[in-house]
């Protein structure tokens, strides 16, 4: 069996338009959020999760530093909603909050903004001007395969709407550029066609594909650059492992000391034993030119394990494992017409144990990073080595008898 992989980076997104009431209700002073110029906020995403859909909304918190005060005060919402605003697409090429908000007029006053997006109620556990956390070491989150949550670069010390992304037709606003907090993985299956044959047909049927991943952990981000104006990326650690609470030196994704595993299994049967076809491929080196063979053989790449979100993590420590069981059947094709002549004359079950460390199969990828999509292409070569014969004839054995007198006449 051969293993190949392709990595594609899942890029990010961003969007919004928002607006609280102060002394001057001038429309030109209304706070809005700006979309990055490559994120088409009014269209469906070609890559699900790559932009915010019109049916989605995101959350935002803001802190007003009146007259350049060192400490900020909550600016959005009320105590009832933890000073968090919900920003929703308004149907007219803009995103609006539930209330209207306006820029401050005091000398030296400015606002800091923190925004995020999350599905399945995966809200951050802590949001401040300098720290954002999802879960904690004591109370880690469990990551589901369809979770998706994003964090935006923080907007520091803003006093007016900006044109950071210069998106045509969108109101100036607070620059809001989201990044995926999770990673994505997908497994494809393909068959090798490197060996030609006109007398044999191979069927490959996958019974099970198993992936075990660490799926509970917590994310900690810090932002220490609060002295200049502009968008500021959160400081993110580059190591995904067992960790402790967030500090400037220890941040990013971490697993608890005893991580739990999620076992993802695709199989030929459902839990109720109702048979279903799963990744069943028929491989034919000699492709028939007629329909005599019946159902066309499938040699195209197929999905083995569908794309899903996972917690970023180190995968070379044995936590992430992969397993596969499949059957190879070989049939005669006497007339080279793509027709199986009789029953399979060979049938073998191949097992890759589901305790196999994924890193040992693809050693070039040692961790799954945030905002990155990984596609593993698993290639099976059902042909293997062709059986041939090496004929030889043993040499004649030569035996000579001793001199024996047969007849002697006296």
pLDDT at residue 60 tops 90: yes
Strands 174-175 and 33-34: parallel
Q: pLDDT-based confidence at 267, cuts 50/70/90?
A: low
Strands 183-191 and 373-380: parallel
pLDDT value at residue 23: 37
| Backbone angles phi and psi of 399, in degrees to 5 | -125, 125
Strands 131-134 and 73-74: unpaired
Across the range 214-234, mean pLDDT stands at 84
Is residue 189 within 8 A of residue 281, CB to CB? The reply is yes
pLDDT value at residue 64: 96
Is residue 102 within 8 A of residue 111, CB to CB? The reply is no
Indicate the pTM of the whole model: 0.77
Strands 57-65 and 73-74: antiparallel
pLDDT at residue 4 tops 90: no
Share of the chain above pLDDT 70, in %: 69
* C-alpha–C-alpha distance, residues 183 and 373, integer Å: 6
| Backbone angles phi and psi of 244, in degrees to 5 | -125, -170
Work out the angle at residue 344's Cα, subtended by the Cα atoms of residues 343 and 349, and round it to the nearest 5 degrees: 140
Across the range 350-359, mean pLDDT stands at 90
pLDDT value at residue 36: 54
Question: What is the DSSP code (8-state) at residue 396?
Answer: P
Share of the chain above pLDDT 90, in %: 17
Across the range 295-315, mean pLDDT stands at 77
* C-alpha–C-alpha distance, residues 58 and 309, integer Å: 19
Residues in Cβ contact with 39 at an 8 Å cutoff, skipping those fewer than 6 apart: 13, 14, 15, 50, 51, 52, 167
pLDDT value at residue 31: 79
pLDDT at residue 61 tops 90: yes
SS3 350: strand
List, for residues 151-206, the tens digit of each pLDDT value: 989 999 999 988 776 654 556 788 888 888 999 999 888 777 655 566 777 777 77
* C-alpha–C-alpha distance, residues 7 and 188, integer Å: 12
* C-alpha–C-alpha distance, residues 151 and 153, integer Å: 7
Over the chain, what is the mean pLDDT? 74
pLDDT value at residue 148: 86
List, for residues 23-48, the tens digit of each pLDDT value: 344 445 787 777 553 344 433 334 44
Lowest mean pLDDT among 38-52, 98-112, 294-308: 38-52
In whole angstroms, how far apart are CA 253 and each of 85, 152, 156, 331, 360? Answer: 26, 17, 24, 50, 23
pLDDT value at residue 52: 62
pLDDT value at residue 182: 92
pLDDT at residue 363 tops 60: yes
The alpha carbon of 42 is separated from its chain's Cα centroid by a whole number of angstroms, namely 25
Q: pLDDT-based confidence at 228, cuts 50/70/90?
A: confident
CA atoms within 13 A on the CB side of 224: 7
pLDDT at residue 338 tops 80: no
| Backbone angles phi and psi of 361, in degrees to 5 | -90, -40
CB atoms < 10 A from the CB of 227, how many?
7
Question: What is the DSSP code (8-state) at residue 361?
Answer: H
* DSSP strands (E only) in 268-365: 280-283, 302-310, 313-314, 321-332, 346-357
More confident residue, 40 or 259: 259
List, for residues 238-256, the tens digit of each pLDDT value: 655 544 444 555 678 887 7
Q: Which of 135, 165, 144 is nearest to 15 (CA)?
A: 165
* C-alpha–C-alpha distance, residues 56 and 100, integer Å: 19
Cβ burial 60-96 (10 Å sphere, 16+ → b, else e):
bbbbbbbeeeeebeebbbeeeeebbbbbbbeeeebbb
Tokens 């607070």 -> residue: 174
* C-alpha–C-alpha distance, residues 362 and 9, integer Å: 17
Is residue 60 within 8 A of residue 115, CB to CB? The reply is yes
In whole angstroms, how far apart are CA 15 and each of 146, 256, 278? Answer: 21, 33, 39
CB atoms < 10 A from the CB of 22, how many?
16
Q: pLDDT-based confidence at 274, cuts 50/70/90?
A: very low
SS3 209: strand
In whole angstroms, how far apart are CA 178 and each of 18, 127, 151, 156? Answer: 16, 16, 5, 15
* C-alpha–C-alpha distance, residues 10 and 184, integer Å: 8
pLDDT at residue 99 tops 70: yes
pLDDT value at residue 197: 65
């Amino acid at each position: 069996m051969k293993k190949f992989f392709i990595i594609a980076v899942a890029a990010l997104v961003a969007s919004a338009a928002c607006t609280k009431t102060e002394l001057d209700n001038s429309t030109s002073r209304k706070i809005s959020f700006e979309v990055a110029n490559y994120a088409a906020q009014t269209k469906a995403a070609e890559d699900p999760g790559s932009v915010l859909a019109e049916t989605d909304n995101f959350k935002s918190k803001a802190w007003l530093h009146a007259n350049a005060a060192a400490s900020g005060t909550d600016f959005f919402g009320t105590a009832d909603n933890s000073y968090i605003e919900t920003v929703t697409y308004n149907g007219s090429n803009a995103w609006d909050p539930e209330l209207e908000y306006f820029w401050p007029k005091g000398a030296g006053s400015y606002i800091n903004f923190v925004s995020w997006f999350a599905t399945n109620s995966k809200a951050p556990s802590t949001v401040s001007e300098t720290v954002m956390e999802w879960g904690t070491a004591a109370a880690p989150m469990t990551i589901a395969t369809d979770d998706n949550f994003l964090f935006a670069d923080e907007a520091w010390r803003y006093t007016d709407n900006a044109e950071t992304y210069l998106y045509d037709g969108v109101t100036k606003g607070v620059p809001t550029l989201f990044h995926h907090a999770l990673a994505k993985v997908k497994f494809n299956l393909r068959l090798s066609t490197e060996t030609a044959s006109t007398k044999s047909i191979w069927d490959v049927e996958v019974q099970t594909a198993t992936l075990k991943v660490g799926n509970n952990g917590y994310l900690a981000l810090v932002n220490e650059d609060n002295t200049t104006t502009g968008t500021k990326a959160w400081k993110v650690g580059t190591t995904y492992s067992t960790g402790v609470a967030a500090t400037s030196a220890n941040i990013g994704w971490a697993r608890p000391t005893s991580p739990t595993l999620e076992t993802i299994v695709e199989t030929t049967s459902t839990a109720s034993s109702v048979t279903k076809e799963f990744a069943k491929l028929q491989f034919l080196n000699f492709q028939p030119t007629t329909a005599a063979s019946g159902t066309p053989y499938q040699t195209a790449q197929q999905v083995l394990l569908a794309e899903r979100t996972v917690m970023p993590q180190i995968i070379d420590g044995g936590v992430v494992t992969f397993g596969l069981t499949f059957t190879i059947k070989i049939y005669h094709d006497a007339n080279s017409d793509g027709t199986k002549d009789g029953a399979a004359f060979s049938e073998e079950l191949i097992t890759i144990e589901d305790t196999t460390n994924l890193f040992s199969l693809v050693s070039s990828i040692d961790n799954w990073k945030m905002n990155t999509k990984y596609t593993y292409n698993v290639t099976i070569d059902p042909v293997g080595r062709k059986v041939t014969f090496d004929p030889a004839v043993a040499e004649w054995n030569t035996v000579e008898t001793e001199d024996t007198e047969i007849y002697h006449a006296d």
